[in-house]
Every structure is written in structure tokens, then in C-alpha cells.
Structure 1
Amino acid sequence: MIMDSRTVLYKLKDYKSPKSKITQLIKKNELIQIRRGLFETDPSAPPYALLSAVYGPSYLSFEYALYWYNIIHERVSVITGAVFGKNKIKEFQTPFGFYLYQPVPKAVYPYDVGIFTENGYSWQIASPEKALCDTLYKAPPLKNVFELRSFLFDCLGMEERVLRSLKNNDIRFLAPRYGRKNTMLLLQFLEGA
């Protein structure tokens, strides 16, 4: 279970020195410090479920979500999340893994995000279409559909049949809201122009 330092201190209030007890619990691996002021009691907690607790509000997206949905096949070790209202990329190395948070436009942030629950943990994850648009948003500028194809199929390792199985209406809704040529090229490619 994820707990902040106030909650941990409250649970240990009957000890003479709650802060010393926290140190003992950390040494015995009964309490894992994720980052300053944030703890987890379960060493086997799924890393992706901790994304929003580490830094947020955020949702799983980019390559991590594409891998989650089997859209790309190369294993992704960095847990990638989208945030808005932040100016720069944030990184956190924790006992549960490396987390990378990248900003997306406020205009797209609330759309096409689902909530998953597993073993008492809940987290948000972008839809496959949104994860792809988020990935294209942060990618280097692409000049044309040929470069887009190269990025999708060669760099990301997507298969065209998987790309064509995505919901065009969702991409049609999202793509213009990013204000980037990359997402508009995706829409152009899917609509066959």
C-alpha cells in the first residue's frame, strides 16, 4: 500500500520514536521509500501502478503504454507517464524502477485515459490511440508520411496491420489538439492521403 510520511507517522504514533521505527522498517524491507515523503509497504507492488503517486497527476503513456497494449514488441524498461502544466521532463529513480514524465498539451490531457485496477492498486493509462499520439508529440519533427512510416515501423517496430486496427475516429479527435505536424501526419496516413 502506498503511504505518505504523515500516514506512516500516524500509524507509528505509539512508538517512542516513530522516525527511528521508519528507519528500522526500511532496513528490514518492510517499508520501501519510493521518494522523499512517499512509501510502499509491498515490495512486489507493480511499478506501473505507482506512476501517479511518484509524480502527478499523470497517466501511463508513450512507449510503455504501447508495449502494454502489444502495439510495440520491444520491452520497455522505463515507466513513461504524461503530465500537463509542467514545463520540463521529470525523472525519478526509485526502488521500483525508473520513471520518466513528459508534458503533453492541456487540450489533450483528459481525453482517452482509462482506469485499471489490479490487486488493490488503481492507475490511469492512455488508450492505444492516445499513447501513439503522445509518442508522436514528443518525437522529433517528421517532414512527411514517408518519415512517419519510418519512425513507426523502423524505430518503434510497429506493424502496419496493428496500426490500421487503431480507432481512426479517436485519432481524428486527438491529432489536431496536439498542435504538431507529427500527429497530423498520422491522421493523413491512416486516412490514406
Structure 2
Amino acid sequence: MDNPLERLGNIPVTASVLESLFPHIKRGNQKVRLLERDKQIIRLKKGLYVCNPKITGQILSTELIANHLYAPSYVSMSSALRYYGLIPEAVYTKQSMTLKHSRNFDTPLGRFEYTSMPKRVFSVGLTSIKKEGYAFVMATPEKALCDLIANSPNVNLRYLKDAEIYLEEDIRMELEDFKQMNTEIFEEYIKVGKKAESIRTLLKLIKK
């Protein structure tokens, strides 16, 4: 007999969705506990689960999980820059921005960090990354870089040389890749986001 969990794929689901898959069991919450005990599902937080990829045959996406774990949110900063291949260092914490309060979650699939930001900045420079059967929201490379600078307390890019050192030495981004970025997103961020002077310096460097 087919396992009803297979149809869920790698999309995080609530306990009530899991219970609905087993209508013949009157105490659905007990079934959820048994599924977790048997490692058929992985608990992300209270009431939110994802199916074991051994059952579904689908690889788990930490980006997709990040969107569901604390919403509304989008993956950003070093996590997004690494996803795009713009920085060489591995990023072991999934970093996201949110409209809610800043919060962290430690899960069996790793640590997820959420940084609060104002609504006026949230919608600037977002993109939907589409995969087979699912999609997740992530910052564009430009927005991810702006978010990283805006939320790094010791980063203050007053001069072009400061920006060059930050990109090449601090986060090890290739200047050639940086020069390909979309200036319009930097311009939008300057109007509404934090660290406007630092972002303005980046803009000057791109146009140099």
C-alpha cells in the first residue's frame, strides 16, 4: 500500500494536514507523534513538519523550509549570495529577512535565523526561484548584498576603497561579478533602507 506521505513531496506541512491523510485514525495527533517517532516526518517547530526524503524521494530544500518556518520571509544575506555562487564560503545558518520580530530556530535540519526589517524595504528586489514542483522566495543578489551590509553593525563604506576591501577581502566576492549587478535595485534600496550612504558608495563603485 502506498504511503500517503509520498504525495506531500518536500513541502513543509502542518499537523492538521498530516492528520487529514489518515482519516481512518480518530486520534490524528497520536498518528503525528508516531510518524515523528518512526522518523517518517521531521519536526521543524511545533505544528510544522516535513516528510523524510527517504519516503518521498525528494531532496529537502532549506530555502523552501525557511520560507515556511517563519512567514512572511525571504532568504537573504550570505545565504542568498552563497546560493548564487557569489561568495566562496559555506554558510551553515540559513539567513532570512522577515516582517515579524527577529527570531532564530534550531531544527534537525540546521539553524534558521530571521532578521526583522520594515515593510517599505521588504518588497524591494525579491525573486521567486522555481524548482520542479515547488518555488521559494529569495533576495536578488543586489538585495542580498544590501541586506548584509545594512545588518552588519561594523560595516561602514564611506569611500570607494572601503567598498573594494569589503567585497574582495571581507566577503570575497569577485569585483567582476559585482560589476554585473543591477544598479536599479541599489537605487531603490537607498531610498527606503538602512545604511544608505554605504549602499550609495557601492553604487559609485559599480558605475566607476
Aligned to 1:4: 14
Q: TM-score, normalised to structure 1's length?
A: 0.89
Aligned to 2:5: none
Matches within 5 A, 1:93-172: 93-140=106-153, 141-142=155-156, 144-145=158-159, 146-172=161-187
SS in 2 for 1:79: strand
**Residues of 2 paired with 1:105 and 1:60: CA distance?**
16
Post-superposition shift, 1:174? Answer: 2.2
**Residues of 1 paired with 2:194 and 2:34: CA distance?**
51
Aligned to 2:36: 26
Aligned to 2:6: none
Post-superposition shift, 1:16? Answer: 4.1
After superposition, give the CA deviation of every residue in 1:2-31 in whole Å (9 maximum; x if it has no partner): 211222223233214322221211121111
Aligned-pair Cα RMSD in Å: 1.8
> How many residue pairs get matched?
190
Post-superposition shift, 1:45? Answer: 1.3
**Percent identity between the aligned chains?**
23
- Structure 1 stretches of 5 or more lacking a match? none
Post-superposition shift, 1:176? Answer: 2.7
Matches within 5 A, 1:21-60: 21-43=31-53, 44-60=59-75
- Structure 2 stretches of 5 or more lacking a match? 1-10, 54-58
- Say if 1:115 and 1:94 are closer, same or farther in 2 by CA, change over 3 A: same
**Residues of 2 paired with 1:59 and 1:42: CA distance?**
24
Stretch of structure 1 that moved more, 123-132 or 180-189: 180-189
Q: TM-score, normalised to structure 2's length?
A: 0.83
After superposition, give the CA deviation of every residue in 1:87-132 in whole Å (9 maximum; x if it has no partner): 4x31111122211111233222112211122242221011111111
After superposition, give the CA deviation of every residue in 1:127-176 in whole Å (9 maximum; x if it has no partner): 11111111111012415123333222211111111111111222222223
Aligned to 2:204: 188
